């Protein structure tokens, strides 16, 4: 039984089903073209260095996830971080750059600038104010690369992502990158945007050129996932309602604090009183998670590497799925509350 | 960046002039240029030689000392974007065989041009200026030098 084509995407590895998935994803997100990566982490971390090189400037949010951070490091560009979701700080940085550009127009002509943000932050759980970013994009002529791993299949009336959620046009965001390993439940990821933007990654996207392509069966699974998403558009509002309900149920968990945007199905439960040692906090949360798993509720401790730019607070991560019923949500919340009460206080 | 070409050579510009047949091809091109100019009935032999020298040096200046970066994306994230072709040769190492060869071609042409123009004052003046254009940018001391910021970005 064949597990995959085991060859490079640009060579023998691309099968007709990959092309079909790319077309379907492009159509679903309302964009001209999409490109598929076989590993979700590699999607954004290959997309950024494909466009941004040395001596280019990237304005990036501090709270981005590790994949984006690796993409920024690989690009070798000058990164200007703005405080998490602080649009005033971003505006200040863009204005400073504008002043420098006016002083040296020859340098400005050869310097590319980008804004990188996540639609729904993995480490923090909150939304980025996309309309403000689009306003900056138009005012300062700086393209936006948006990481949509958590918002694809979650936000928007039809699940198309952050642009639909905020009522913007798909053309307002230059490139979206999303992992298919989250809402879609498959492997890999995709980038979507205008044809001439996305086409560049076919030769310059390192994770596309130098990596084997996605197993065709999982591409087929993603296509089926898209069929479900297009066929039952009510599941997205149901998912968001369940996320809100779960957050309400989890409020009042002893020792833990519910964080993030209310419609985000990925719920971070941060420790209300963290100790000075991160290891102790993690061990404590590990015990709570273990207790929950033993009682039949899958809860994990949010894990980070030491190389993270800004280590988020220690937290448990609870993810709501649209298939869960109200009873199951209540049962899960009860289990989590009991486990927290037992170990934290 | 081509598929199936993951090599350690991140910038082909550094080594393409070392490849097999490049030097001979270069000299042959100069010879062809000279024969074309000789064939034009308007030019005397002296004029043809001076023109060869001048055209060669000006063309060399544009190709090696004015154009920067690479026409294709390289594997080094744009490290050489601000370097001229000459500065990229052999990744910036000086006194390599290719650099010595390419420096000696304008000098050799200058001697030939001076000889075939019978050291006529006007011709020698023009040829000296062309020699300066051809050789001064190649000095190792002027590596990455930009006069008054011209051509920096």
Q: Give the pLDDT confidence score for residue B10 in this predicted structure.
A: 85
Complex ipTM over 0.90: no
Among A70-74, A326-330, A341-345, whose mean pLDDT is lowest? A341-345
Which residues, 6+ apart, have CB-to-CB distance to A211 below 8 Å?
A8, A9, A37, A38, A39, A42
The stretch A215-232 carries a mean pLDDT of 96
Q: Give the pLDDT confidence score for residue B5 in this predicted structure.
A: 59
Please indicate if any CB of chain A lies within 8 Å of the CB of B90. Answer: no
Q: Please, are residues A278 and A311 in contact by the beta-carbon 8 Å criterion?
A: yes
Residue B14 included in any domain = no
Rounded CA gap, B105 and B132, in Å?
13
Give B56-113 pLDDT, tens digit per residue. 999 999 999 999 999 988 888 999 999 999 999 999 999 999 999 999 999 999 999 9
Tally of residues, chain A: 345
Residue B31 included in any domain = no
Rounded CA gap, A64 and A76, in Å?
17
Chain A nearest-CA distance from B138, in A, is 25
Under the banding of pLDDT at 50, 70 and 90, the label for residue A2 is very low
Is the pLDDT confidence value at B4 over 50?
no
Give A256-279 pLDDT, tens digit per residue. 999 999 999 999 999 999 899 999
Give A286-320 pLDDT, tens digit per residue. 999 999 999 999 999 999 998 898 999 999 999 99
Rounded CA gap, A118 and A133, in Å?
11
Residue B101 included in any domain = yes
The stretch A175-203 carries a mean pLDDT of 95
Question: What average pLDDT does chain B have?
Answer: 93
Cβ contact, residue pair A106, B149, below 8 Å: yes
Q: Give the pLDDT confidence score for residue A4 in this predicted structure.
A: 59
Chain B nearest-CA distance from A56, in A, is 10
Which residues of B are less than 8 Å from A75 in CB distance?
Answer: 77
**Which residues in A have their CB inside 8 Å of a CB on B?**
8, 10-11, 49, 53-56, 74-76, 106-107, 109-110, 203-204, 209-210
Q: Which of A1-5, A64-68, A201-205 has the highest mean pLDDT?
A: A64-68
Under the banding of pLDDT at 50, 70 and 90, the label for residue A11 is confident
Residue among B13, B53, B47 at smallest CA distance from B30: B53
Give A60-97 pLDDT, tens digit per residue. 999 999 999 999 999 999 999 999 999 999 999 999 99
Per cent of chain A over pLDDT 90 is 91
Decide the pairing of beta strands A78-82 and A189-193: unpaired
Q: Give the pLDDT confidence score for residue A3 in this predicted structure.
A: 56
Decide the pairing of beta strands A175-179 and A144-147: parallel
Please indicate if any CB of chain A lies within 8 Å of the CB of B150. Answer: no
Chain B nearest-CA distance from A51, in A, is 9
> How many domains are there within chain B?
1
Cβ contact, residue pair B1, A76, below 8 Å: no
Residue B119 included in any domain = yes
Query: Domain A9-231 belongs to what architecture?
Result: 3-Layer(aba) Sandwich (3.40)
Give A150-159 pLDDT, tens digit per residue. 999 999 999 9
Q: Give the pLDDT confidence score for residue B2 in this predicted structure.
A: 53
Which residues, 6+ apart, have CB-to-CB distance to B40 below 8 Å?
B48
Is the pLDDT confidence value at A230 over 70?
yes
Residue B121 included in any domain = yes
Q: Which candidate in B2, B77, B79, B151 is best for mutational testing of the A interface (most A CBs within 10 A)?
A: B77
Which residues of A are less than 8 Å from B149 in CB distance?
Answer: 106
Q: Give the pLDDT confidence score for residue A35 in this predicted structure.
A: 97
Distances (CA, A) of A43 to A201, A229, A282, B30: 10, 22, 29, 49
Which residues, 6+ apart, have CB-to-CB distance to A173 below 8 Å?
A130, A134, A144, A146, A162, A163, A193
Rounded CA gap, A101 and A108, in Å?
5
The H-or-E segment that residue A98 falls in is helix A87-103
Distances (CA, A) of A321 to A7, A29, A176, A329, B143: 34, 22, 23, 10, 61
Under the banding of pLDDT at 50, 70 and 90, the label for residue A7 is confident
Closest chain A residue to the Cα of B153, Cα to Cα = A107
Phi and psi, residue A165, nearest 5°: -60, -45
Closest chain A residue to the Cα of B4, Cα to Cα = A210
Residue among A300, A297, A295, A334 at smallest CA distance from A317: A300
Q: Please, are residues A68 and A307 in contact by the beta-carbon 8 Å criterion?
A: no
Q: Residue B148: helix, strand or coil by DSSP? A: helix
Q: Please, are residues A118 and A65 in contact by the beta-carbon 8 Å criterion?
A: yes
Q: Where are the domains of chain A?
A: 9-231, 234-343
Mutual angle of helices B22-39 and B97-116, in 10-degree steps = 20
Q: Residue A61: helix, strand or coil by DSSP? A: strand
Residue B66 included in any domain = yes
- The conformation of residue A306, written as its DSSP 8-state character, comes to T
The H-or-E segment that residue A219 falls in is helix A216-231
Which residues of B are less than 8 Å from A107 in CB distance?
Answer: 152-153
CA quadruple A202, A208, A211, A215: dihedral sign: negative
Please indicate if any CB of chain A lies within 8 Å of the CB of B41. Answer: no
- The conformation of residue B138, written as its DSSP 8-state character, comes to G
Give A92-111 pLDDT, tens digit per residue. 999 999 999 999 999 999 99
Q: Euclidean distance between the first and final Cα of chain A, in Å?
A: 52
Tally of residues, chain B: 153
Task: Give residue B99's domain range.
Answer: 36-149
Residue B12 included in any domain = no
Cβ contact, residue pair A203, B73, below 8 Å: yes
Rounded CA gap, B57 and B52, in Å?
8
Residue B44 included in any domain = yes
* Helix-strand-coil split of chain B, %, nearest 5: 65, 0, 35
The H-or-E segment that residue B34 falls in is helix B22-39
Rounded CA gap, B112 and A271, in Å?
84
Which residues of B are less than 8 Å from A210 in CB distance?
Answer: 3, 6
Is the pLDDT confidence value at A133 over 70?
yes
Q: Give the pLDDT confidence score for residue A9 in this predicted structure.
A: 73
The stretch B34-58 carries a mean pLDDT of 96
Please indicate if any CB of chain A lies within 8 Å of the CB of B81. Answer: yes
Cβ contact, residue pair A55, B78, below 8 Å: yes
Q: Residue A126: helix, strand or coil by DSSP? A: coil
Cβ contact, residue pair B4, A11, below 8 Å: yes
How many Cβ contacts (< 8 angstroms) between chains A and B?
Answer: 40
The class of domain A234-343 in CATH terms is: alpha beta
Chain B nearest-CA distance from A238, in A, is 44
Q: Give the pLDDT confidence score for residue B8 in this predicted structure.
A: 76
Under the banding of pLDDT at 50, 70 and 90, the label for residue B6 is low
Mutual angle of helices B97-116 and B45-60, in 10-degree steps = 160
Chain A nearest-CA distance from B93, in A, is 21
Cβ contact, residue pair B81, A53, below 8 Å: yes
Chain B nearest-CA distance from A144, in A, is 20
Decide the pairing of beta strands A315-319 and A300-301: antiparallel
Of A56, A106, A204, Cβ closest to residue B152: A106
Rounded CA gap, A273 and A255, in Å?
7
Q: Which candidate in A46, A77, A203 is best for mutational testing of the B interface (most B CBs within 10 A)?
A: A203
Residue among A216, A160, A164 at smallest CA distance from A188: A216
Residue among A192, A171, A188 at smallest CA distance from A180: A188
């Amino acid at each position: 039984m064949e597990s995959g084509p085991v060859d490079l995407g640009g060579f023998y590895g691309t099968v007709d089903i990959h092309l079909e998935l790319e077309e379907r994803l492009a159509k679903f997100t309302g964009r001209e073209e999409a490109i598929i990566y076989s590993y979700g982490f590699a999607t954004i971390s290959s997309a950024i260095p494909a466009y941004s090189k040395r001596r280019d400037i990237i304005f990036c949010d501090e709270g981005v996830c590790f994949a984006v951070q690796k993409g920024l490091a690989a690009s070798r560009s000058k990164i200007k971080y703005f405080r998490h979701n602080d649009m005033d700080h971003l505006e200040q940085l863009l204005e400073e750059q504008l002043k420098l550009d006016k002083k040296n127009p020859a340098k400005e002509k050869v310097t590319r600038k980008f804004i990188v943000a996540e639609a729904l932050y993995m480490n923090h759980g909150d939304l980025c104010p996309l309309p403000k970013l689009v306003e900056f994009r138009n005012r300062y002529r700086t393209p936006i690369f948006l990481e949509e791993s958590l918002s694809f299949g979650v936000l928007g009336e039809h699940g198309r992502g952050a642009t639909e959620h905020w009522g913007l046009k798909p053309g307002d965001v230059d490139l979206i990158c999303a992992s298919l390993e989250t809402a879609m439940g498959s492997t890999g990821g995709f980038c979507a945007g205008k044809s001439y933007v996305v086409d560049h990654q076919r030769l310059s996207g390192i994770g596309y050129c130098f990596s084997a392509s996605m197993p065709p069966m999982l591409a087929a699974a993603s296509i089926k996932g898209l069929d479900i998403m297009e066929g039952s558009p009510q599941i997205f509002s149901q998912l968001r309602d369940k996320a809100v309900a779960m957050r309400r149920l989890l409020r009042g968990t002893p020792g833990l604090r519910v964080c993030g945007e209310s419609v985000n199905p990925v719920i971070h439960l941060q420790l209300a009183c963290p100790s000075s040692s991160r290891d102790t906090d993690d061990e404590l949360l590990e015990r709570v998670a273990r207790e929950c798993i033993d009682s039949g509720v899958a809860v994990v401790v949010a894990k980070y590497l030491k190389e993270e730019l800004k280590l988020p607070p220690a937290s448990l991560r609870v993810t709501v799925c649209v298939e869960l019923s109200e009873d199951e949500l209540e049962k899960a919340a009860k289990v989590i509350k009991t486990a927290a009460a037992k170990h934290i206080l | 960046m081509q598929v199936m070409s993951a090599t350690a050579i991140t910038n082909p510009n550094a080594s393409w002039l070392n490849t097999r047949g490049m030097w001979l091809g270069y000299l042959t091109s100069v010879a062809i240029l000279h024969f074309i100019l000789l064939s034009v009935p308007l030019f005397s032999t002296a004029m043809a030689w001076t023109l060869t020298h001048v055209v060669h040096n000006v063309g060399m200046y544009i190709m090696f000392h004015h154009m920067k970066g690479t026409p294709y994306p390289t594997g080094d994230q744009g490290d050489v974007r601000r370097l001229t072709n000459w500065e990229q040769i052999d990744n910036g190492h000086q006194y390599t065989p290719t650099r010595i060869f390419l420096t000696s071609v304008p000098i050799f042409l200058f001697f030939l041009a001076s000889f075939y123009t019978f050291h006529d004052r006007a011709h020698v003046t023009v040829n000296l200026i062309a020699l300066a254009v051809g050789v001064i940018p190649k000095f190792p001391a002027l590596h990455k030098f930009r006069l008054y910021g011209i051509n920096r970005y």
